[in-house]
Amino acid sequence: MKSIIRRILKESLDDIVLQKISKRIKLPYFKEMSYYGIDKISDMKKLFSYLLNTEVSDVTILENDWIGVYNSEGLVLYDEHLDPLDEIHWEITKYEDERFPGQWTTILNIDGDFASREFNEDGDVIYLRDENGVQIDDRE
């Protein structure tokens, strides 16, 4: 019984710690996680769930130079890669329109480039704004 209680308390403490880290960690997330000692995939999934405010179903790391974070539909929510010159590039993709779960609504990257879009009932883009301003505005 004591071991069950200890395990429950440890899991709760881990969640509390990961929630606190999610409020402090800065981009690029994967690089910053190493400073916090986060190296288990299960902890990464929990942390990314807090960071991206959505359920994370998978974290994939390829040869320590690319990480991809996926939702339950298999869509990339966040990716980060290290190029040969040791420059880190990252991109966050959000899927916030429940009517069209496979269509991104916002993309933000390291350079400050972003795109945000809205859809009509048929799934057509009716609004598109990026770092250069509004590109499409067919909202009524």
Residue 13 pLDDT exceeds 70? no
Q: What is the pLDDT of residue 31?
A: 83
> What is the per-residue pLDDT for 88?
84
Residue 8 pairs in a beta bridge with none
Sheet architecture: strand order including 88-94: 58-62, 66-70, 76-82, 88-94, 106-109, 114-119, 125-130, 133-137
- Mean pLDDT lowest among 10-14, 65-69, 73-77, 124-128: 10-14
Q: What are the pLDDT digits (tens) for 62-108?
A: 877 788 999 988 899 999 887 766 678 889 999 988 888 889 999 99
Residue 121 has pLDDT above 70, yes or no: yes
* Cβ neighbours of 63 (radius 10 Å): 6
Query: Residue 96: its pLDDT value, please?
Result: 87
* Model pLDDT, residue 8: 56
The mean pLDDT of the chain is 86
Asked if residue 119 lies in contact with residue 97, where contact means CB atoms within 8 angstroms, the answer is yes
Span 31-59, pLDDT tens digits: 888 888 888 898 999 999 999 999 999 99
Beta bridge partners of 133: 130
